[in-house]
Amino acid sequence: MADPLPRARVVSVHVGPVQRFDDDTGDSWSGASGKTALSEPVRVEQHHVTGDEQADRPHHGGPDKAVSVHPSEHHPRRREELGLSSMGRVPSGQGLFGPPGPLPQNEEKGGRPMCRRTEADRGSTIREMRLLGADRGEARLQRVQDILLVTFETERGTGPARDLYRAIAFDLRTCRALSPVHSFDHPVHLSDLPALGPEPVLAFTVIGALKIADLRDGSVLQTFPLPHAGERLRLDDCELALGRYGGRDLLFLHEDGIGYECEWWAVDLATGEPVGDGLVDAHFRYTEVSERLTLRHGYLAHASTEEVVEFGTEDFSVINAPFVYVYSAEDGSWVGKIRLHNGVPEDRNVEIARAAGRTYLAEAGSILTLPEMEPVFSRDVWGVEEVLTVVSRVTEWGGRPVAVLARKPEHSPEVPGQLGYLFLDTETPEKVVLPWPVPLRVHDLQVTTDGTIVISSVEGVHVLHTDPAEAARSGRTS
């Protein structure tokens, strides 16, 4: 009788996301060799271990490569080579078997370069890397300071994989993951209420309560009972925003009620009671749009729709037109509304940004100043009508307000779009096109003052880096 196979014992399980690595020469590449040891049981799914990602998908991950096993007998030699005292948490930029090598200049993974440099208009340099792969397509982006939260929905399963919502946090200064992929049964939001701590936190509602969780490990830090809110809505289907206004820490809730009747209101976190005092409003929407709330710089905004009558030369028609409603976050007073010409995709916030001493509202091709609700430019500035601005974001580069825009041909869905920017402090704006092939379907966009541009599309989440000071110097000022 043959000897039985030796029995093996699992010493540790390590997981980690795709992230960026830099070397001393200034080169960058992305990989998934930086792993973190887990302390709890983890589920092995069809293509990977829960919370783990692979950059080189042809050689890692999938039904026949979901788990990579390394004998512990190899570790002493690897520890000696890497200068490590243990095989616990792997240092950033190194895997269990050493630092990953840079990708060849023309090597592609998954049909797109993992990292590359290109020359933009006026000679500025663009660096690109893929933060998450195509299996994280249609992700939504939330940002607080330098923290990026990427959220995406999954199919609801059973057992340990029953959670519907996933989220992972990154530090945009380094593009390194701050957490594994967290799982939630409810939509999750990135919030920075000072009373909850110095670092942004995750916030989500359940029936009768608001829960605050650590963005790094997902543990619940605090629970705020909402005893009366549960009588008015299903909190697990509610969108939320947190802020401090009028000397109170407030939770703003936006719920789509029976049919298309919608309502938002504010709750005092200290008491769990609705505030009233004008911080409540109802609206009637005619088609589904994003219920997301935007609460920034003293304003509250959300999307809705209205029936609009449009007259032609011989007849008229009634359409369901998308709008953005804007209120004062201090007292709920009405600021105004703007009609959108491209609509608002589901689950995406409109932009409210402060740049160069002014406050702007931006969504697709509409950019306005607040509180005036005045368009910065006429629609003619965006070019021909056949090209639509899918999403736009506003920030400040080199002391100047700038809008970054993703655009696509209106009637050619299979033709790649354009990514560009223009400055908002000139009456004759000049759009600068960035030499990056925009994927066919862009879902969300974030920009920062240091020239970082994050794009979520059907191909995953990509990060671009440009020089904001150089862009501001070369941009037209009159």
The answer, yes or no, to whether residue 444 has pLDDT greater than 80, is: yes
In the prediction, which pLDDT does 89 show?
A: 38
Tally Cβ neighbours within 10 Å of residue 140.
21
The answer, yes or no, to whether residue 108 has pLDDT greater than 50, is: no
Q: Give, for 98, the enclosing helix (H) or strand (E).
A: none
Give pLDDT tens digits for 13-59: 888 887 766 555 555 556 777 777 777 777 787 667 877 887 666 55
Q: How many angstroms separate the CA atoms of 117 and 461, rounded?
A: 17
List C-alpha distances in Å: 325 to 74, 254, 283, 305, 335.
61, 13, 10, 10, 8
List C-alpha distances in Å: 434 to 57, 301, 420, 427.
28, 30, 5, 22
Q: How many angstroms separate the CA atoms of 218 and 131, rounded?
A: 20
In our burial notation (b when 16+ CB lie closer than 10 A, e otherwise), range 226-239 reads: beebeeebebeebb
In the prediction, which pLDDT does 448 show?
A: 95
The answer, yes or no, to whether residue 463 has pLDDT greater than 80, is: yes
57-61, 177-181, 408-412: least confident range:
57-61
60-74, 186-200, 319-333, 399-413: least confident range:
60-74
Q: How many angstroms separate the CA atoms of 216 and 74, rounded?
A: 31
Question: Mean per-residue pLDDT for 401-428?
Answer: 83
Enumerate long-range contacts of 373-381, CB under 8 Å, 24 or more apart: 373/326, 373/335, 373/336, 373/337, 373/338, 376/403, 376/424, 377/429, 379/341, 381/422, 381/429, 381/431
List C-alpha distances in Å: 181 to 168, 170, 184, 198, 461.
5, 11, 10, 22, 15
In the prediction, which pLDDT does 113 show?
A: 36
Per the CB < 8 A criterion, the answer to whether 475 and 424 are in contact is no
The one-character DSSP state at 95 is B
pTM: 0.73
Give pLDDT tens digits for 59-70: 577 666 778 887
Q: Which residue has the higher pLDDT, 259 or 202?
A: 202
The answer, yes or no, to whether residue 385 has pLDDT greater than 60, is: no
In the prediction, which pLDDT does 22 show?
A: 57
Question: Mean per-residue pLDDT for 183-197?
Answer: 88
